[in-house]
Amino acid sequence: MKPIKVILAGGGTGGSVMPLVAIAEEIQRETNGKSLLLFVGTKSGIEKKIAKKYNLPYRAILAGKLRRYVSFKNVIDPLKIIAGFFQSLVILMKFKPQAILTAGSFLAIPIGVAAWVLRIPLIIHQQDIEKSLTNKILTRFAKKITVTFRLSLKEFPREKVVLTGNPVRQDILGASKEEGREYFDIMGDLPIILILGGGTGALSINQIVAQAVFELRQFCHVLHITGKGKKAAESKDRYQVFEFLEDDLKYAYAAADIVVSRAGISTLTELAELKKPTIIIPLPDTHQEANASFFEEFKAALNLSQKGLTSEKLVATIRKLLLERHDREKMSQEFDRVFEKHAAENYLAVIQEVIRDKR
């Protein structure tokens, strides 16, 4: 593959950034690191730190969030979008990319429209089951729309939409169970439960887990990632709590026998790739509920509603799943099957087609 020149744009949450990172990895692998890539994000979002970790040159723009509810910020944020549009024009005219890639973030609006104005091909990625507001807006401006799930094909114009699956960064997959147990200094043979508190709304899960810790420690070892500033309990015997894991997340993934997680597609794609039995607690009244229902329908994960969830119910669900090895194995197989294989390669083929057509 010949080297290419591409901008990746996303931010606000890690979920919209990780597929882009996976694509960046695949591009550089196929071109022996000779492609020119630029990541465009917000000034202070998590994406800046992630881009630095993966050695991606970075530029920041202003971006306003689009809300479906009444807020004073709905007056201010359109001004940020306009400012971000003009900042994007400057970046695009200077960098001259062959294509622009986004994955549903609100930051994609100003740079997506700027790409359309300058006639630069825009590829947008739909991760979730439910179409994002950003992608609804950008559909008319996009050259191609890639989707994670087959059922999303009907949500977009037939001539634009392509089923690719959701790209996964390969570095998160590179540890063994033994390495994971050793990394966290876990002795004995008790099963390990990894609990991912998530970002938004993490405190609700963390409080339930804090109430469940005493019971959980009787029959398993718990690794709990709470989110920054959202601890609800301190580490103790058979319970290790972390606000955030970066490179060491791969060891937590590898060690885990069962994972408790929110329903963000980036995380679920990684867990499916690793064939981890997963209990999903979707963020209430969000697109995550549609994601969780989808996996539950295919018997690929257990779906627990946060509404009415108690520590007793969480403990009982974990205990029951640990006792039913056959069910765990079947769940892992189904979880893996609902995602398309070779997503990064599929996405790269779309990029190459778009660039070729532009020429």
Domains in the chain (CATH in brackets) are 5-166+340-358 (3.40.50.2000), 171-337 (3.40.50.2000)
Per-residue tokens: 300: 């690929």
How far is residue 172 from each of residues 93, 135, 185, measured CA to CA in Å? 35, 27, 20
Q: Please report, in tens digits, the pLDDT of each residue of the chain (359 residues total).
A: 899 999 999 987 778 899 999 999 999 999 999 999 999 999 988 899 999 999 999 999 998 776 555 555 666 788 999 999 999 999 999 999 999 999 988 899 999 999 999 999 999 999 999 999 999 999 999 999 999 999 999 999 999 999 999 999 999 998 999 999 999 999 989 999 999 986 655 788 999 999 999 999 999 999 999 988 788 888 999 999 998 888 899 999 999 999 999 999 999 999 999 999 999 999 999 999 999 999 999 999 999 999 999 999 999 999 999 999 999 999 999 998 999 999 999 999 999 999 998 77
Q: How far is CA 146 from CA 90, 93, 135, 255, 349, in A?
A: 27, 25, 11, 32, 11
pTM of the model: 0.93
Nearest-angstrom CA–CA distance, 311 and 201: 17
* Cα gap 340→251, rounded to integer Å: 24
Contact 278, 259 (CB under 8 A): yes
Q: How far from 19 is each of 111, 124, 127, 134, 333, CA to CA, in Å?
A: 18, 11, 9, 16, 22
CA 296/CA 304 separation, integer angstroms? 10
Number of H helices and E strands in the chain, helices first, is 13, 13
